[in-house]
Every structure is written in structure tokens, then in C-alpha cells.
Amino acid sequence: MPFTDLPLDLLREYRPEVAEPADFDAFWERTLAESRAQGTVAELSPATTPITAFRIDDLTFSGFGGEPVKAWVTRPRDAEGPLPVVVEYVGYGGGRGLAGERTLWASAGYVHVLMDTRGQGSAWGSGGDTPDPHGSGPSAPGFMSKGLHDPEEYYYRRVFTDGVRLIDAVATLEGVDPTRIAVTGGSQGGGISIAVAGLVPDLLGVMPDVPFLCHFRRAVEATPEAPFTELARYLSVHRDAESTVFDTLSYFDGVNFARRATAPALFSVALMDPVVLPSTVYAAYNHYAADASMEVYPYNGHEGGQMHQWVKQAEWLAGLR
């Protein structure tokens, strides 16, 4: 597999101008305020699982528009709180899966909270449990083009809001330290992490792993593989919609959230990645407003560093605690 983008020395200097709406902050302040006003108290119940080494709970919290969203909460069974928390967001097409599938962070002494992604959960893994009750105008297969005609209707407005509202819910849970909440995720989950970092102050840390949903213009024009190709396919049919599409996407671009981040971050990038081009990762990284570092995997594709990266994340996060 060849390198998919610019040489590393140019990537490290890559700081593109990315369109930012004049009302970006107002849009997100209003969106979050409306959803918070419609929220209810989070509900926690024991998960049905044969696993006994950890305490695993089924969390239902209020996401976008007060709509119910699911998550798993996994923690060391006998640990004394309050414990630090790692909130994880899932990659494109996946769901939260079954209780107990992901126990690494709990094994390392954290409360691990894994958010289901509304409407997803049927492309890989063990499934999801959260529907997206909103309709959509004409869209290409997948989720990238749902509601592209209007930022108010775009799919990721709901997902990013869910991500923020989960932080609100986690901060209220018994046995957690609300001052030590970190966020992470791979691919789409990394993109959600960056968005949450730009919308939530005072996070402990942010760990976007080969993050998706950054620098949309370059991604759409240069990425050879799905899911960014969903947007190119949409534009190939809706030939007069380019300005509308990229105006909508500017409200959801990871670069614009990175500019507002306040927590330290550990990014990762893979230089043979055909799904998330390295330049799009560096676009967000080089605009990131707080302290940040980057782990580079020169000979990997979209799988990135996998367990190697998790070990680096665990070491890095322990240094922040």
C-alpha cells in the first residue's frame, strides 16, 4: 500500500484555511441549550451479562432534542471512587455492541462509558440499540449526506449533541470524578471526540485516533475510499448544491472545533490511510488550540496503531491524572 498523502514534513506544516461560519458559536450554543432544556435524568440499570469481573451498567441518557441514547458503563467492580472516566465514541457504522466487549479502560482503573451512535450499528460489530427518529431528504447510502441541505437538519448535529450530552450525564453518575473526564474514539469516534473537545470546557484529555470528519473540502475532493465518497456521490447527482453542501459541512468540520479546544490532546495518524487522509488529520491537529501531540504510524492504513496506540493513550492519560 502506498503513502496516501503529502510527505510527513509537509503534513507537519499543513495548516489550511477552512471555512468557518460567522454564527458557528451561536449555532452550537443554541443547539446545546435547546437539547439541555429537553433533557431528563439519566437512567442506569445493571446490564445482562455473564461477566463478573467488572460492574457493567446500561445507561440511557437524553441526547439531541431530549431523545434517548444508550451507552455502556463499565468500571472496576471493587474500586473505591470517585474514579476518572474515559468516554468513548464508536467508528462509522458500528454500535455499542454487547455488554462487556470493551473492558481495557476499566482494566486500567477508569470508568469506561461507550456511547451508542444513533441510527448506526449495522455495518460491523455486534449491533447498536439507538434509533435516529429523524427523517431525511435525498441522501446517498450511509449517513454522511443525511440533511445536507441545512445545518439544522444535518445528521451530525444530532450525533455531536449526543456526544456532549453524554458528558453532562456522566458528570452526574455516582462514583465518578466529574473533573477527570477524558474522551476518545477511532475514526468517526475520533471526529466526535474533537467536536466534543471544542464544545465542552474542562475535559481532562482528548484522544482522537485516526480521526474522521475533518477538513471536509480536502477530504471530499481527494479521499479514494468511503465514507467521504458518499459526499462526492451526492454532489455528482446534485450538481448545483456544492455551495450549500460545504456551507452545511462547515458547521461540523473538526478543524473548527479544534480551534476551540481547551484540553490537552493525543492524536494519531496513519500515513497509508485511504479512508481518512493524513492531511485532514493534520489540518485539525495543526489548528488545535490547546497542547497536543501526534503519534505517527507510517506503514499502517486506517487500522492505525491499534493496541500499540491504546498503550500510548493509557500512559499519556495516566500522566494527566
At 39, which helix (H) or strand (E)?
A: none
* From 187, 250, 268, 279, active-site residue: 187
* Residues recorded for the chain: 321
Virtual CA dihedral for 209, 213, 216, 221, nearest 10 degrees? 70
CA geometry: angle 258, 152, 289, nearest 5 deg: 10
Q: Are 282 and 292 in contact (CB under 8 A)?
A: no
Sheet holding 265-270: strands in order across? 43-46, 54-62, 68-76, 111-115, 83-89, 176-186, 205-209, 265-270, 292-297
Instruction: Show contacts of 38-41: CB within 8 Å, 24+ apart.
Output: 38/62, 38/65, 38/66, 39/66, 39/165, 39/168, 40/66, 41/172
Nearest CA to 99 out of 61, 52, 173, 48 is that of 48
CA geometry: angle 218, 151, 166, nearest 5 deg: 95
Pairing of strands 292-297, 265-270: parallel
299 annotated among ligand-binding-site residues: no
* From 250, 273, 279, 287, active-site residue: 273
Return the C-alpha cell found at 12. 507537519
- Annotated active-site residue 273? The verdict is yes
Cα radius of gyration (the chain): 18
DSSP string of 179-233, one letter each residue: EEEEEEEETHHHHHHHHHHHHSTT-SEEEEES--S-SHHHHHHH--STTTHHHHH
Binding site as annotated, residues:
92
Binding site as annotated, residues for substrate:
92
Catalytic residues: 187, 273, 302
